[in-house]
Homo-oligomer: A and B are copies of this chain.
Amino acid sequence: VKVSKATAAAHRQALLAAASRLFREKGFDRVGIADIAAEAGLTHGAFYTHFASKEALCVEAVAAIARQGSVAVREARDFDAYLAEYLSPLHVAAPREGCGFAALGGEGVRQGDDVRAAFARGAAEIIDSFADVLGQEKPHGIAARALAIQSISALIGGLQLARMVTSEAERDEILTAVKDLIGALRSAPSTL
């Protein structure tokens, strides 16, 4: 059943989008080609007309997820709005649509070389994005990169920690503590 080129291109995008969501939700290893194809409204056989292998799909999915993360910081109304969203209970509960580094970073570094490389590129990209945004809102000069790295570390670690605990009280305590940390970081003298 051949379909038009436009439809085929849409299918490819649908597969990539489905993979990007499912991977964040369940991890690379717990998502099968059939799951991804089904979420995209196709059967597993069709997958291989769009991607050479699961590994190839993973590489593209990681790139897409990383880009999404960079766009989220760069296009946020302001950094506070971004922080509030990142450190929200909603984000804790919905990894499927959320930060890919927090959801997949741990296992990402154990994947094949190409996926590892995609994570490396993504990490460099998100650090640059943070540094740009932070350097712009208030000129921190050289410290902008350090500030970016510190913020990203706290955000990723904080989100993961918030996902580990079970009570809402613990979760909110963590989200607040990390929010406070980054707030203090930004307003502190650059000697910090």
Q: How far is the CA of A29 from the CA of B102 in the complex (A)?
A: 18
**Shortest beta-carbon distance, A15 to chain B, in Å?**
22
Judge if A69 is at the interface, Cβ distance under 8 Å: no
Chain B residues with CB under 8 A of A170: 123-124
> Of all chain B residues, which has the CB nearest A126?
B161
Contact B107 A106 (CB under 8 A): yes
Known: A106-B107, A107-B106, A124-B165. A174 touches B153 (CB 8 A): yes
Contact A158 B157 (CB under 8 A): yes
Q: Which chain A residues (96-117) contact chain B, with CB distance < 8 Å? A: 101-110, 116-117
**Which range holds the interface residue count of chain A?**
35 or more
Q: How far is the CA of A124 from the CA of B180 in the complex (A)?
A: 20
Contact A149 B164 (CB under 8 A): no
**Shortest beta-carbon distance, A7 to chain B, in Å?**
33
Contact B26 A110 (CB under 8 A): yes
Greatest chain B CB density within 10 A among A107, A117, A145 is at A107
> Of all chain B residues, which has the CB nearest A166?
B120
Greatest chain B CB density within 10 A among A101, A105, A106, A124 is at A106
Chain B residues with CB under 8 A of A163: 105, 109
Chain B residues with CB under 8 A of A105: 106, 160-161, 163-164
Known: A26-B110, A181-B185. A123 touches B161 (CB 8 A): yes
Judge if A5 is at the interface, Cβ distance under 8 Å: no
Q: Which residues of A contact B (CB under 8 A)?
A: 25-27, 29-30, 101-110, 116-117, 119-120, 122-124, 145-146, 149-150, 152-158, 160-161, 163-166, 170, 173-174, 176-178, 180-181, 184-185, 188, 192
